[in-house]
Amino acid sequence: MDGMHDLGGKQGFGPVGHSPEAREVFHAPWEKRANALYSLAVKLGVFNMDEYRHAIERMEPRHYLLAGYYERSLTSTATLCVEKGIVTHEELEQRAQGVFPLALPSAPGRSNVAERVRFKAGDRVAVSLDQVPGHVRMPAYIRGKNGVVVSESPAYPFPDAHAHGVPAADEPTYDVRFDTAELWPNSADQAFVHVGVFQSYLKRAE
Protein backbone atom coordinates (compact mmCIF):
# COMPACT_ATOMS: atom_id res chain seq x y z
CA MET A 1 0.00 0.00 0.00
CA ASP A 2 1.05 3.62 -0.28
CA GLY A 3 1.90 4.80 3.21
CA MET A 4 4.41 6.06 5.73
CA HIS A 5 6.37 2.79 5.63
CA ASP A 6 7.55 3.39 2.04
CA LEU A 7 10.60 5.51 2.84
CA GLY A 8 12.95 4.34 0.06
CA GLY A 9 14.58 7.29 -1.68
CA LYS A 10 13.09 9.79 0.79
CA GLN A 11 15.09 12.70 2.21
CA GLY A 12 15.19 14.29 5.66
CA PHE A 13 15.58 11.32 8.01
CA GLY A 14 19.21 11.94 8.89
CA PRO A 15 22.28 9.74 8.45
CA VAL A 16 22.15 5.97 8.79
CA GLY A 17 23.74 4.90 12.09
CA HIS A 18 26.92 2.84 11.96
CA SER A 19 27.78 2.65 15.68
CA PRO A 20 28.38 -0.74 17.36
CA GLU A 21 25.03 -0.30 19.13
CA ALA A 22 23.27 0.14 15.78
CA ARG A 23 24.60 -3.25 14.65
CA GLU A 24 23.17 -5.12 17.64
CA VAL A 25 20.16 -7.24 16.70
CA PHE A 26 18.33 -7.26 20.05
CA HIS A 27 18.43 -4.56 22.72
CA ALA A 28 15.98 -6.04 25.25
CA PRO A 29 14.72 -9.54 26.16
CA TRP A 30 11.16 -8.79 24.97
CA GLU A 31 12.47 -8.14 21.45
CA LYS A 32 13.72 -11.73 21.21
CA ARG A 33 10.31 -13.01 22.31
CA ALA A 34 8.48 -10.78 19.80
CA ASN A 35 10.72 -12.02 17.00
CA ALA A 36 10.25 -15.66 18.04
CA LEU A 37 6.47 -15.20 18.27
CA TYR A 38 6.08 -13.91 14.72
CA SER A 39 8.47 -16.57 13.38
CA LEU A 40 6.46 -19.32 15.09
CA ALA A 41 3.17 -17.93 13.75
CA VAL A 42 4.50 -18.01 10.18
CA LYS A 43 5.90 -21.51 10.66
CA LEU A 44 2.55 -22.75 11.97
CA GLY A 45 0.66 -21.13 9.09
CA VAL A 46 -1.25 -18.64 11.26
CA PHE A 47 -0.34 -15.98 8.69
CA ASN A 48 2.11 -15.59 5.82
CA MET A 49 4.93 -13.12 5.32
CA ASP A 50 2.95 -10.86 3.02
CA GLU A 51 0.14 -10.62 5.56
CA TYR A 52 2.77 -9.85 8.19
CA ARG A 53 4.38 -7.09 6.11
CA HIS A 54 1.00 -5.60 5.22
CA ALA A 55 -0.07 -5.39 8.87
CA ILE A 56 3.08 -3.35 9.56
CA GLU A 57 2.25 -1.08 6.61
CA ARG A 58 -1.22 -0.56 8.09
CA MET A 59 0.10 0.90 11.34
CA GLU A 60 -1.11 4.43 12.10
CA PRO A 61 1.64 6.70 10.64
CA ARG A 62 2.66 8.34 13.93
CA HIS A 63 2.81 4.96 15.64
CA TYR A 64 4.90 3.56 12.79
CA LEU A 65 7.48 6.37 12.96
CA LEU A 66 7.74 6.29 16.75
CA ALA A 67 7.93 2.49 17.03
CA GLY A 68 11.14 0.51 16.78
CA TYR A 69 11.61 -2.54 14.58
CA TYR A 70 10.35 -5.10 17.10
CA GLU A 71 7.42 -2.97 18.24
CA ARG A 72 6.28 -2.93 14.62
CA SER A 73 6.73 -6.69 14.48
CA LEU A 74 4.72 -7.18 17.67
CA THR A 75 1.97 -4.84 16.44
CA SER A 76 1.69 -6.82 13.20
CA THR A 77 1.58 -10.18 14.97
CA ALA A 78 -1.02 -9.00 17.49
CA THR A 79 -3.18 -7.39 14.79
CA LEU A 80 -3.26 -10.54 12.69
CA CYS A 81 -4.00 -12.75 15.70
CA VAL A 82 -6.98 -10.51 16.54
CA GLU A 83 -8.20 -10.48 12.93
CA LYS A 84 -7.97 -14.28 12.73
CA GLY A 85 -9.85 -14.79 15.99
CA ILE A 86 -6.98 -16.22 18.03
CA VAL A 87 -7.18 -13.52 20.69
CA THR A 88 -9.34 -10.44 21.26
CA HIS A 89 -8.19 -6.85 21.48
CA GLU A 90 -9.72 -6.68 24.94
CA GLU A 91 -7.66 -9.65 26.10
CA LEU A 92 -4.48 -8.02 24.82
CA GLU A 93 -5.20 -4.78 26.66
CA GLN A 94 -6.04 -6.71 29.81
CA ARG A 95 -2.69 -8.50 29.67
CA ALA A 96 -0.88 -5.24 28.83
CA GLN A 97 -2.78 -3.40 31.59
CA GLY A 98 -3.32 -0.50 29.25
CA VAL A 99 -3.74 0.57 25.65
CA PHE A 100 -2.51 -1.91 23.02
CA PRO A 101 -2.60 -0.17 19.60
CA LEU A 102 -3.26 -2.35 16.57
CA ALA A 103 -2.83 -1.69 12.85
CA LEU A 104 -5.64 -0.04 10.88
CA PRO A 105 -8.11 -2.14 8.83
CA SER A 106 -6.95 -3.59 5.53
CA ALA A 107 -8.08 -2.54 2.06
CA PRO A 108 -8.85 -5.19 -0.60
CA GLY A 109 -6.03 -6.90 -2.47
CA ARG A 110 -5.76 -7.68 -6.19
CA SER A 111 -4.74 -10.57 -8.43
CA ASN A 112 -2.05 -10.68 -11.11
CA VAL A 113 -2.19 -8.34 -14.08
CA ALA A 114 -4.17 -10.16 -16.77
CA GLU A 115 -1.70 -9.72 -19.63
CA ARG A 116 1.72 -10.27 -18.09
CA VAL A 117 4.83 -10.13 -20.27
CA ARG A 118 7.87 -12.42 -20.02
CA PHE A 119 11.16 -10.52 -20.15
CA LYS A 120 14.76 -11.48 -20.78
CA ALA A 121 18.10 -9.94 -19.84
CA GLY A 122 18.67 -6.69 -21.70
CA ASP A 123 14.99 -5.81 -22.18
CA ARG A 124 14.05 -2.23 -21.36
CA VAL A 125 11.06 -2.10 -19.03
CA ALA A 126 8.83 0.51 -17.42
CA VAL A 127 7.38 0.21 -13.93
CA SER A 128 3.65 0.82 -13.65
CA LEU A 129 2.26 3.91 -11.93
CA ASP A 130 -0.42 2.02 -9.99
CA GLN A 131 -1.59 3.46 -6.68
CA VAL A 132 -2.51 0.40 -4.63
CA PRO A 133 -4.71 0.55 -1.50
CA GLY A 134 -3.73 -2.97 -0.42
CA HIS A 135 -0.33 -4.63 -0.09
CA VAL A 136 2.27 -4.02 -2.81
CA ARG A 137 6.01 -4.70 -3.09
CA MET A 138 6.66 -1.91 -5.60
CA PRO A 139 8.54 0.99 -3.96
CA ALA A 140 7.31 4.45 -4.85
CA TYR A 141 10.68 5.72 -6.04
CA ILE A 142 10.74 3.35 -9.05
CA ARG A 143 7.13 3.85 -10.20
CA GLY A 144 6.85 5.17 -13.72
CA LYS A 145 10.61 4.79 -14.19
CA ASN A 146 12.46 2.90 -16.91
CA GLY A 147 15.14 0.30 -16.31
CA VAL A 148 16.90 -2.69 -17.84
CA VAL A 149 16.28 -6.34 -16.93
CA VAL A 150 19.41 -8.07 -15.66
CA SER A 151 18.04 -11.48 -14.68
CA GLU A 152 14.92 -13.43 -13.72
CA SER A 153 14.30 -15.08 -10.34
CA PRO A 154 12.07 -18.12 -9.62
CA ALA A 155 8.32 -17.59 -9.25
CA TYR A 156 6.93 -16.54 -5.88
CA PRO A 157 3.41 -15.85 -4.57
CA PHE A 158 2.20 -12.50 -5.92
CA PRO A 159 2.29 -10.29 -2.80
CA ASP A 160 -0.66 -8.06 -3.74
CA ALA A 161 -2.83 -11.19 -3.60
CA HIS A 162 -0.96 -13.29 -1.02
CA ALA A 163 -1.41 -10.67 1.69
CA HIS A 164 -5.19 -10.71 1.23
CA GLY A 165 -6.08 -14.34 0.45
CA VAL A 166 -6.87 -13.44 -3.15
CA PRO A 167 -6.35 -16.23 -5.75
CA ALA A 168 -3.36 -15.55 -7.98
CA ALA A 169 -0.64 -17.33 -9.89
CA ASP A 170 2.92 -17.30 -8.64
CA GLU A 171 5.11 -15.12 -10.84
CA PRO A 172 8.81 -14.31 -11.25
CA THR A 173 10.62 -11.24 -10.09
CA TYR A 174 13.11 -9.48 -12.32
CA ASP A 175 16.36 -7.89 -11.24
CA VAL A 176 15.92 -4.48 -12.87
CA ARG A 177 18.81 -2.02 -13.11
CA PHE A 178 17.91 1.66 -12.81
CA ASP A 179 20.17 4.62 -13.51
CA THR A 180 20.16 7.07 -10.59
CA ALA A 181 19.74 9.91 -13.10
CA GLU A 182 16.43 8.29 -14.07
CA LEU A 183 15.29 7.86 -10.47
CA TRP A 184 16.45 11.22 -9.07
CA PRO A 185 17.31 13.64 -11.90
CA ASN A 186 19.98 16.21 -10.96
CA SER A 187 20.08 15.05 -7.35
CA ALA A 188 22.15 11.85 -7.18
CA ASP A 189 25.67 10.67 -7.97
CA GLN A 190 26.06 8.59 -11.10
CA ALA A 191 25.37 4.98 -10.16
CA PHE A 192 23.02 2.06 -10.72
CA VAL A 193 20.31 0.80 -8.36
CA HIS A 194 19.07 -2.79 -8.67
CA VAL A 195 15.52 -3.65 -7.54
CA GLY A 196 13.68 -6.98 -7.55
CA VAL A 197 10.40 -6.21 -9.34
CA PHE A 198 7.44 -8.58 -9.71
CA GLN A 199 6.28 -9.34 -13.25
CA SER A 200 2.85 -7.72 -12.80
CA TYR A 201 4.49 -4.39 -12.03
CA LEU A 202 6.35 -4.25 -15.36
CA LYS A 203 5.62 -3.54 -19.02
CA ARG A 204 7.85 -2.98 -22.02
CA ALA A 205 9.33 0.50 -22.18
CA GLU A 206 8.16 2.58 -25.11
Consecutive sets of 10 residues in the chain, 206 residues long: mean pLDDT of each? Answer: 80 74 81 96 97 97 95 98 98 97 96 95 96 93 97 97 97 97 88 97 96
Q: Residue 99: what pLDDT?
A: 97
Q: Residue 21: what pLDDT?
A: 64
pTM: 0.90
Q: Where are the beta strands (DSSP E) in 16-72?
A: none
DSSP class of residue 130 equals -
Q: Is residue 194 within a helix (H) or strand (E), and if so which, with residue range?
A: strand 192-198
**Domains, the chain, ordered by start:** 20-96 (1.10.472.20), 124-204 (2.30.30.50)
> Is the distance from CB of 75 to CB of 53 less than 8 angstroms?
no
Neighbours of 48 (CB within 10 A): 17
Sign of CA dihedral 28, 8, 204, 190: negative
Closest CA to 8 of 202, 140, 133: 140
> Is the distance from CB of 176 to CB of 147 less than 8 angstroms?
yes
* Cα distance between residue 198 and residue 135, in whole Å: 13
Q: Residue 22: what pLDDT?
A: 62
Q: Residue 7: what pLDDT?
A: 81
- 17 CB contacts (<8 Å, ≥6 apart)? none
Angle, CA 113 vertex, CA 104 and CA 106 arms, to 5°: 5
